[in-house]
Chains A and B, each alone.
Chain A
Amino acid sequence: MMKKISKIIALFALSALMIPSCDIVEEPYLVAIAGGNGPGPGDKVRKVLLEDYTGQKCLNCPEAAEIAHTLKTLYGEQLVLLTIHAGSYSTPDATGDFTADFRTQEGAELNSFFGFPGYPMGMVNRTEFDGFRILLKDSWEAAAAIQTDLEAQVEIIITNTYNTGTSKLDCLLETEFLKDMDGTYNICVFIVESGIISPQETEQGVNLTYEHNHVLRGSMNGTWGDVVGTDGQAISGSALTNSYSYTIPDGWNADNCSVVAFVYNTTTNEVVQAEEKDLLP
């Protein structure tokens, strides 16, 4: 009897071999990491722009949107998404399911300037990754990982004042360069809308109740924006201001709209900082 019990105990003890297969995480679960001058309140973080060029009639595009969404869940506020409907798949039909028009003049110009060969494709900070600026969706994660790890060079603070009665939006942008940088820098101020329910082609057929998110709706300062401050010079410590007004057209849901702003180098077109702020608190 005792022999049997000891055998049983010994065999159960074998399971102890697996105990190292458990990582107990102690507090703090979130660890502040370097972003500028080291972790601490007030540190600046590089926020990255992911542009997803898409179309409502592009059946592979929802998969790209899903990847963008997953990256957003991983990086949170540090990743700013911009969905741009452009190219042949975004052209609306006169009748049928695809009568909605999400195209914008700015989106068309960007699409043409960067020369998108197909959809879905995108850019991460408009910066080259593995030799390409225009990236297939499967490269977005790796490119975002590199960009989010870089030091913050610029900080943008957006202050929105939205009058629900007149639909007028006043947007104040305060940009601070954290170091001296060569070249001139522009700031683009776009308006995006999420939660738009409208048909989308998918691999499984048309989804009539597809939710379109982060859709570029319009720009407050054109396709290429304006110089930051008065001359776009990047001098450490300089705090520069730009301000714009815009009337939100009927048909856009202000509750789901936000301002996406980003600063880029006008020579290389590379984005150095992005920011997003909802219209309504």
Chain B
Amino acid sequence: MILKKFLILILLALTLPAYILAQEIPGNPTVHGNFQIDAQTYHPDEALGITDSVLQGKTMRLNGYGDIRFSMWRFNAGLRYEAYLPPLAGYDPNYQGQGIPYWFVEYGDEKLQITAGHFYEQFGMGMILRSYEQWDLGYDNSFNGLRVKYSPVSGLNFKALIGVQRYYWEPFADDNRGIVRGFDGELMLNDAFNALKEMKTRVILGGSFVSKYEKMRTKTLISDTIKYEYQLPANVASAGGRVSISNGGFNFYTEYTHKFNNPTAFNNYIYKDGQALLSSLSYSQKGLGVYIAAKRIDNMSYKSKMTELNNVLDINFIPPLTKQFVYSLENVYPYATQLNGEAAIQGQIIYTIPKGTKLGGKYGTKLELNYSRVHGLDKQAIADSIPVDSTGTLGYKAPWFKFGDLYYQSISASFEKKIGKKVKLNIEYIHIDYNIEVVEGHPGAEMVHAHEYNIEFTFKLSSTKSLRLEYEELLTKQDRGNWAMLMVEFNVAPKWFFSIMDQYNYGNPDEDMRLHYYTAAVAFVQGPHRLSLAYGRQREGLLCVGGVCRQVPASNGFTLNISTSF
């Protein structure tokens, strides 16, 4: 605490004069920052089931932050203030409060760099270790500790770290979470060896080792009148390797991670090792991009607290192989990564039909096709007498090339074309199969089969004014039934932006829930400053970024967003 106050004083002392005298002080001092305030008012809305007693007087909520970075010579420092007063509905209520959850000091040159305090880090694709912050999700698993980056020779980089992860606002205590230690080495062969410098094929090899230490609690089980104690590992390790090979437009990447026995609340305390394999092959050239990827993960939740089930304290991150859709109704059924086991494939082609051809027309036409499919694993009992996932056992066997239930499938096609000088057209179609029982945890719920399409026109009215129209429709016989959406957006560049939108759940099987979710918004932009105000209803649903999701409740009220940066 004292250290934190001391650091704030130092930063203030350093940044103010440095900012004023930036041109005169050697070492090129710079200060950057950005601020954001997201506030929302909440009003009763009988149709949505929101009453005064639900709101409990919390009719205004706010999430906000201020992030400042200072650098001078070989020194960097930064801090972030955050406030959740109280957190916006749908964010983890444990974040309620305000303070400085993130600060760091860093010193280094080309060879060696040392960070003390909080930091974000990623090894490879993150399947073994990744800490990051995602404001929209209310997700932050930063490390607080020490990190060293070392490059002894050209083409060779090492990273080593030790730290504890952010757990809402709770200070670290001996038994409230574990300590994470990690080591990563990366060798860029072409840079490291002169003989390979001129080679067209570029090869990068990497290896990582991560370990978590946590003070173990006693955990017991009574079975057939016998009391058993779990033999719990205080140190849980994982190791991984990766290869990247590129040549011209081709790029091949593969990464494998093996996690050793890690019985936790998330996997029902089974002792099976975890495994994750992700491979991708991509090709790109002007006007064409092709990407195919496959992934198999098995028992890969890796948290720095054994009993934790919430979206916190994740040491690693499993990249999704599902497309992150942009339009509103496309995101009614987003996919959340199933860390206890899934196998997925994805294929994507982006092609721009060249200008001047018959199909390309005067301005070219952009086409995009995407296919994603995710299955569960085919979990089989380890012995006749032991059911799958039995606690205190190896859990199950899962053959590599056998798959279980379908969790998710999407096929999407989009078409983007400029029609003349003033009109742009974008059409997209998606078919989604969504195992709502698994992804959203609704026992017994029927698999959702949905068609979604959207049509978007952008009209350029003058050099500064444009009008955007968007119509979307989601058709399904399951869950909440059909939806339609219409949006009109008027843009006066570069300062003003107005929009009105209505999402209508006209096919809801419950007639009382056939509701309109309307929003009107205005935004004003001046240089780096942005201010927007909206009023409307928010539909209930999942919000996912990168396969990590949070539940957003229905709400009704004004939203104010203010942001700036320098």
Contacts and interface: CB of A to CB of B under 8 A. Distances in A.
B27 interface: no
Interface in B40-80: 49, 51, 53-56, 58
B221 A76 contact: yes
Interface residues of B, number: 54
Nearest to A47: B222
B220 A75 contact: yes
B225 A42 contact: yes
Interface stretch (B187-195, B321-329, B369-377, B473-481): B187-195
B265 interface: yes
Contacts of A205: 54-56, 58
B556 interface: no
Given A22-B211, A74-B219, A43 B227 contact: yes
Interface string A187-205: 0000000000001011111
Q: Which 7 A-B pairs have the closest CB atoms?
A: A22-B237, A21-B211, A23-B233, A30-B228, A77-B222, A205-B56, A204-B93
Contacts of A25: 231-233, 261, 271
Contact of B263 (A21, A29, A145): A29
Given A42-B225, A76-B221, A24 B213 contact: no
A222 interface: no
B227 A33 contact: yes
B307 interface: yes
B267 to A, nearest CB: 13
Interface of A: 1, 4, 7-8, 11-12, 14-15, 18-25, 28-33, 35, 39-45, 47, 70, 73-78, 96-97, 145, 148, 199, 201-206, 208
A21 B233 CA distance: 10
B209 A18 contact: yes
A201 B56 CA distance: 9
Interface in B5-51: 49, 51
8 contacts: A11-B156, A15-B207, A25-B232, A39-B227, A44-B225, A74-B217, A204-B93, A208-B54
B42 to A, nearest CB: 9
B217 A32 contact: no
Nearest to B92: A204
B462 to A, nearest CB: 48
B439 interface: no
Interface in B75-99: 86, 93, 96
A210 B307 CA distance: 21
B172 interface: no
A77 to B, nearest CB: 4
B392 interface: yes
A28 B213 CA distance: 22
B234 A203 contact: no
Given A33-B220, A44-B225, A96-B53, 5 more contacts: A4-B193, A18-B183, A76-B221, A206-B56, A208-B49
Contact of A29 (B51, B58, B213, B231): B231
B478 to A, nearest CB: 21
A41 B207 CA distance: 47
B229 interface: yes
B132 interface: no
Nearest to B224: A41
A203 B93 contact: yes
Nearest to B179: A21
Contact of A31 (B183, B229, B261, B263): B229
A45 B227 contact: yes
B164 interface: no
B153 A7 contact: yes
Which residue, A20, A21, A35, has most C-beta atoms of chain B within 10 A?
A: A21
Given A12-B207, A15-B185, A74-B218, A4 B153 contact: yes
A23 B93 contact: no
A33 B224 contact: no
B231 A22 contact: no
Contacts of B199: none
A11 B152 contact: yes
B180 to A, nearest CB: 10
A78 B220 contact: yes
Contacts of A47: 222
B86 A8 contact: no
B204 to A, nearest CB: 14
Given A29-B230, A29-B263, A73 B181 contact: no
Nearest to A34: B227
B226 interface: yes
A30 B229 contact: yes
A78 B226 CA distance: 10
Contacts of A77: 221-222
B282 interface: no
A157 to B, nearest CB: 10
A41 B228 CA distance: 11
Interface in B439-459: none
